[in-house]
């Protein structure tokens, strides 16, 4: 099994004819993802690469092709509207790759998603992949290998590094999820940990956090009381000075609870094995399996 996406996922791409959308659409098709439609307003009726039908609206695409998931590659100024459109059309899973979406836009989008029962992955994320089953987003498929280790991360680049370390050591992945590094995101660590705990084909989870906020501490509390599977953790930004944003909009230390040291201590208290560097993931994982 896997979480959130698998071989039955029917994918719709919002922004399919743009530069990023078209490039990554071809990558997802090449990987084997079942891509059924694209949406670009004003370009309805076209065929992307002569194969994928393009529609003017998500509602039209849903009515004609029955997608189960949307991935969004549109500019930040209209990305929240694209999220709302996908949820309004009844899609149960929406993945938003776009970064730089105004926080105020997300304060309006998240309650709407909740009201419509839609799950959002992102924004400002690399998406997710269930190796050999489905790839939604920008995670490179060539570094992934099917297996029984779940990966959940706030950092796109570190997601790739951890996957590479696991694959090189022969540890395949069940699903890898990049949840995004913005202050307001859809799916959090706890929801991913819960899904991996319920997945019979996931044996352990690697959790990659970073400075800022308290999501990692909350994930640690959940893991301590609600996880029977081992969790290996890493916190990025261990040398970051307070008050300086490091990369993601959410990666800023605004108090003692946002520091790498406090997060790593919370992991250790919860029984999560803590990596000092990404290269530690394999030996720590093998100790727990």
Q: Annotated catalytic sites, by residue?
A: 248
Do 123 and 97 meet the contact criterion of CB atoms below 8 Å apart? Answer: yes
Q: Find the farthest-apart pair of alpha carbons in the chain and give their distance in angstroms, rounded.
A: 57
DSSP string, 17-29: TSHHHHHHHHHHH
Residue 289, token pair as written in the block: 């399996």
84, containing H or E segment: helix 76-88
SS (H, E, C) 209-274: EECCCCHHHHHHHHHHHHCCCCEEEEEECCCCCCCCCCCCCCCCCCCHHHCHHHHHHHHHHCCCEE
Q: Could you give the C-alpha distances from 235 to 39, 148, 212, 224, 231, in angstroms and in order?
A: 37, 22, 10, 18, 13
Which residues have a Cβ under 8 Å from the Cβ of 220 and sit 6 or more positions away? 233, 263, 266, 267, 269, 270, 272
């Amino acid at each position: 099994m896997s979480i959130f996406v698998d071989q039955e996922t029917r994918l719709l791409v919002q922004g399919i004819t743009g530069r990023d959308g078209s490039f990554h659409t071809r990558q997802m098709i090449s990987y084997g993802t079942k891509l059924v439609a694209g949406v670009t307003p004003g370009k309805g009726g076209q065929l992307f690469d002569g194969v994928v039908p393009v529609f003017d609206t998500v509602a039209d695409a849903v009515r004609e092709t029955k997608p189960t998931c949307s991935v969004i590659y549109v500019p930040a100024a209209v990305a929240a509207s694209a999220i709302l459109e996908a949820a309004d059309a009844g899609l149960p899973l929406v993945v938003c790759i776009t970064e730089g979406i105004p926080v105020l836009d997300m304060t309006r989008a998240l309650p709407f998603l909740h009201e419509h029962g839609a799950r959002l992955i992102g924004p400002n994320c690399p998406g997710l992949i269930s190796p050999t089953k489905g790839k939604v987003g920008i995670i490179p498929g060539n570094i992934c290998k099917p297996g029984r280790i779940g990966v959940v991360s706030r950092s796109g680049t570190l997601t790739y590094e951890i996957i590479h370390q696991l694959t090189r050591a022969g540890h395949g992945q069940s699903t890898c999820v990049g949840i995004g590094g913005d202050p307001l995101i859809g799916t959090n660590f706890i929801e991913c940990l819960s899904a991996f705990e319920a997945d019979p084909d996931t044996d352990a989870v690697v959790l990659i956090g970073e400075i800022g906020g308290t999501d990692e501490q909350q994930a640690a509390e959940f893991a301590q009381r609600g996880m029977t599977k081992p969790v290996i953790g890493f916190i990025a930004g261990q040398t970051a000075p307070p008050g300086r944003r490091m990369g993601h909009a959410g990666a800023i230390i605004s108090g003692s609870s946002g520091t790498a040291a406090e997060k790593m201590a919370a992991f250790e208290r919860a029984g999560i094995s803590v990596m000092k560097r990404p290269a530690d993931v394999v030996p720590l994982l093998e100790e727990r399996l």
